[in-house]
Amino acid sequence: MSRVGYNLKQSFSQMNRNKGMYFTSTMAITAMMLILGLFFVAFVNINLFAASIEKDYNVIQIYLAEGSNQETVQAVGAQLEAMDGVDHITYVTKDEALGTLKTRWGDNGYLLENLPENPLPDSYSVYVTDKDAANSVAAAAAKITGVDDVVYYQDTIEKLAQVSRFVELGSIITMAFLIIVSIIIVANTIKLTVFNREKEISIMKYLGATDWFVRAPFIWGGIFVGLFSAMIATGLTHVIYQKVVNMVGTDVTRILSVNLVPSEYLTTNLLIIFMCLGVSIGTCGSIISIRRFLDR
């Protein structure tokens, strides 16, 4: 414990002596983590929306013409059930559709209660056996008398999958690049600190100090830089994301019927990720920077 205390004391001492360099390093790594954080929240929300849409990939919504009588409704249902590739169908009244929409809107569902009239049409939810059958069923359903519109999410799902893959690939590439740059920044900061203590390190080595005893204060310094950066970047990401949620969260829910990921959930996970990343960056940068002085 006394050795740990000594290492921490030496680490804070050298950080205090080189405040400018450590502050610059912290700000630079914070900026890089902030960029990663914004990529992270975008990726998580896109995946959430894609997953919400994808669960309905096997469902085709058949909207009936306004004012269709019971005979027409039954005739449309019979033709839909007779199609190849249809597993089963469900009739949804306009009142049931409005109730479902209120449920999806969650806390914002009250906005639908004061409508002068229900704008939603009666519809059939057609469940197909597989994706291959969906296109042919959707095309055939559009030609049935009494059908006003056909909505199928396959194109949307494919586009969202492409966007999700692009964001994921971009995040990985960006993360790899920023991590390398962050390690270099920490390594250079520690290296300048080592230069100031070069004679002291030589004396310690001459007196028999082990490499890890000499290295420990610098590693702790790098770790603290990483942790400070992680906390600041997480805080900034939380503030930015919370403002975005407050500004457009209700609109997204109303238009897409999908809630944005809660900021508290993202912040907690982001803090854990950033702290692990910060410790790794600080440790690697410190080890790289001091290695050449220990090899002499």
Domain count, the chain: 2
Query: Biggest alpha carbon distance in the chain?
Result: 99
Q: What's the pLDDT at 232?
A: 92
Q: What does R_g of the chain's alpha carbons equal in angstroms? A: 30
Q: What's the pLDDT at 202?
A: 66
Q: What's the pLDDT at 206?
A: 66
Residues 173 and 274 in one domain: yes
Residues 174 and 267 in one domain: yes
Given its phi and psi angles, is residue 121 left (phi above 0), alpha (psi -120 to 50 degrees) or beta? beta
Residue matched to tokens 């002499």: 296
The first and second tokens of residue 138, run together, are: 């959707």
Residue 124 maps to which CATH number? 3.30.70.3040
The pTM score is: 0.61
Q: What's the pLDDT at 231?
A: 92
Domain boundary among 98, 121, 152: 152
- Strand ordering across the sheet containing 86-92: 86-92, 123-128, 59-64, 147-151
Sign (positive or negative) of CA dihedral 112, 115, 117, 120: negative
Q: What's the pLDDT at 109?
A: 66
Residues 23 and 163 in one domain: yes
Residues 183 and 240 in one domain: yes
Domain interval for residue 163: 2-53+157-294
Residues 111 and 148 in one domain: yes
Residues 162 and 266 in one domain: yes
Residues 174 and 275 in one domain: yes
First and final CA of the chain: distance in angstroms?
Answer: 29
288 near 188, Cβ under 8 Å? no
Residue of 221, 215, 157 lying closest to 186 (CA atoms): 221
Residues 247 and 148 in one domain: no
Residues 224 and 264 in one domain: yes
Residues 148 and 231 in one domain: no
125 near 90, Cβ under 8 Å? yes
Residues 120 and 197 in one domain: no
Dist CA 142 CA 130 (whole Å): 19
Domain boundary among 152, 184, 201: 152
Domain boundary among 152, 184, 199: 152
Q: What's the pLDDT at 236?
A: 92
The first and second tokens of residue 296, run together, are: 């002499």
What average pLDDT values come out for the chain (296 residues) when binned by 10 residues?
64 71 82 85 76 68 84 88 87 82 69 74 84 80 86 71 76 81 78 68 65 72 85 91 75 57 81 87 78 59
Q: What's the pLDDT at 218?
A: 76
**How far, CA to CA in Å, does 5 sit from each of 76, 131, 226?**
79, 63, 20
